Chains A and B, each alone.
Chain A
Amino acid sequence: MSEITPDLVRHLANLARIDVTDQEVDLFTGQLGLIVDSMAAIKEAVAGDVPATSHPIPMANVYREDVVEPSLSQAEALSAAPDSADGRFRVHAILDEE
């Protein structure tokens, strides 16, 4: 069985700033457990000499030159914001983390 416990799901939800009901905790515990178990099965299938791979195609060194491109205007940048003030995005204060 996986190491995913209801407490771990609550911890994850807290890190992601998501409110979860007890029902959802049960649901996600099962779902996340299944994913983690599946990954464990894949891990068993590959030998230790296979390097970790983040991309299926062996590609590297894709760079952009250091040249300025047009940005959005302030109005455009803020257009989808639920709230804004003084040219800035306005959000709930989370002072205890600053």
Chain B
Amino acid sequence: MAKDELMNYEKALEQFEVVIGLEVHVELNTNTKMFCGCRNEFGDEPNTNVCPICIGLPGSLPAVNKRAVESSIKIGLALGCDIAPNGRFARKNYFYPDLAKNFQTSQYDEPIAFEGSLEVEVPSGNTFTVQIERAHMEEDAGKLTHVGGSTGRIQGAEYSLVDYNRAGVPLVEIVTKPVYGAGAEAPELAAAYVRSIREIVKGLGVSDAKMERGNVRCDANVSLRPHGQEKLGTRTETKNVNSLRSIERAVRYEIQRQAALLAKGTAIIQETRHWHEDKGATSSGRPKSDADDYRYFPEPDLVPVQPSKEWIEELRAGLPEKPADRRKRVQAEWGFADLEFRDVVNAGLMDQIEESVSAGAKPQAARKWWTGELARIANSQDKDVIDLEISGAYVAELANLVEAGKINDRLAREVLTYVLDGEGSPAEVVAKRGLEVVSDDGALIAAIEAALAKQPDVLDAIREGRMQAAGAVIGAVMQAMKGSADAGRVRELLIEMANK
């Protein structure tokens, strides 16, 4: 892969205006596929969730999954879109083995939802309105595994293996209009937008929304134009950027790469590009086909989708609270300062904290654990916090053990590692491993006396009112008991002994 020349980011922004456009594919969590009754399931044995319809055998006829249509309408409504009174499916023709039919059933000029918008907040606290052009229904493609060449199992042999379990899984593709004016924050906006979409579809319950499983995938369009120029620059489309962090990095990379080319007078090629997480770079893919090359035409095997007003209104009435409204409400309920709350939102931890609070944790304690120790652990494992194997209820239990004085912060962090290792709930771990703080006076007094033997002047100092002298003894006791002493109780005992 040839190394691209990159322009310094700040310099690129001085010279050019950034325009982005985002296409997000959301895989729906229906029981069955879009057009047939095969299971929609991740991780099954290859080619076991397939039938004549989804492997394109002659004579098979598709039938639309009603729940997939319902989920698509819900997504459209949540994005403030109009729902088309008459929608049609279309064939997008291309010959590639990820779909056995040689076309993808999609929607073309009559998508189910159109003209919406979404308010997106970026980490700085700035808010941008992203205009949604459309959301349409389509089917996912199968999974290809390339064998041979550099990975060569058989020397020189190059072929691909195809698993059609995913072929026909319902997708909703959400397409934005060009987004202007984000400037230096364009990469953050792209990531925050995808995070918002993820929040929405998860809140609607229509998708599992796991990016690492490809439930939510993003293609990012980036183009640059000199400040003041009206005509849009040539765009590139970076495909399948599969984590929030890589979306941000990929957009930033494209800005720097395109700026360097444009500054030299080189034209940008309209093409798809691929993001390589390991190299932190994009590489050239195929030149972007014209829409004409897909020879879209109305799908003759499926009749139009005409959702009734009653159905749409029923679905609208059942929508969950809007994310922006919910944010306002919970911030007030939890009493978080703006900055504290922004950290929570940016880390995507509202659901987790809400779960912990409803399981009995104090909001500040829940926030402290989720954005503090748990975020630190996730970061050290290169994971998203929400992917850690711990429930909001367990975090509440942990926070409440600390609150009740059963464990201190240091012990709590130790308990947490065992909980994450799957040893059970925090209370179970404390009981099983005997991690409770020692507040048993007998054991504490013995440790205090041992410490006092080395520092005999401390009791006199306390009697004279110099309480800071107690610190040395408390520290020694803590050390002797490996951090499990109840520091408050040690202090009380010391004062009692001094006054005896």
Contacts of A78 in B (CB 8 A): 47
- Is A17 interfacial (CB-CB < 8 Å)? yes
Q: Count of A-B contacts with CB under 8 A? A: 140
Binds A, one of B13-21, B65-73, B252-260, B348-356: B65-73
Task: Give the residue among B46, B158, B163 with the most A Cβ atoms within 10 A.
Answer: B46
Known: A60-B304, A62-B64. A91 touches B162 (CB 8 A): yes
Nearest A residue (CB) for B35: A64
The complex places the Cα of A71 from the Cα of B48 at a distance, in Å, of: 7
Instruction: Classify chain A: how many residues form its interface, as a range.
Output: 35 or more
B contact residues around A74 at 8 Å (CB): 45-48
Q: Which of B73-110 contact A (CB under 8 A)?
A: 86, 88, 93-97, 100
Q: In the complex where A85-B161, A94-B160 touch, is A68 in contact with B48 (Cβ < 8 A)?
A: no
A88 touches B46 (CB 8 A): yes
Asked if B286 is an interface residue, CB under 8 A from chain A, the answer is yes
Given the complex, which residues of A lie within 8 Å of B94, measured CB to CB?
A: 15
A66 and B68 contact, Cβ closer than 8 Å, known pairs A15-B293, A86-B46: yes
Residue of B nearest to A80 (CB): B57
Q: State in angstroms the CA–CA spacing of A38 and B39 once bound together.
A: 44
Q: Does A21 contact B (CB under 8 A)?
A: no
Say whether B299 faces chain A, with CB atoms less than 8 Å apart.
yes
- Chain B, 362-407, CB within 8 A of any chain A CB: none
Q: Are A66 and B65 in contact (CB under 8 A)?
A: yes
Residue from A64, A67, A87 in contact with B47 in the complex, judged by beta carbons closer than 8 Å: A87
B347 interface contact, C-beta 8 A: no
Query: B305 contacts A67, CB within 8 Å?
Result: no
Q: Once the chains bind, are A94 and B97 in contact (CB under 8 Å)?
A: yes
Please give me the residue from chain A that is nearest to B143 by CB atom: A88
Q: How far is the CA of A71 from the CA of B41 in the complex (A)?
A: 13
Instruction: Tell me if B50 is interfacial: C-beta within 8 Å of chain A.
Output: yes
Complex Cα gap A63–B72 (Å): 14
Q: Is the CB of B31 within 8 A of A89?
A: no
Q: Is B164 an interface residue (CB 8 A)?
A: yes
> Among B66, B69, B97, which residue has its beta carbon within 8 angstroms of that of A91?
B97
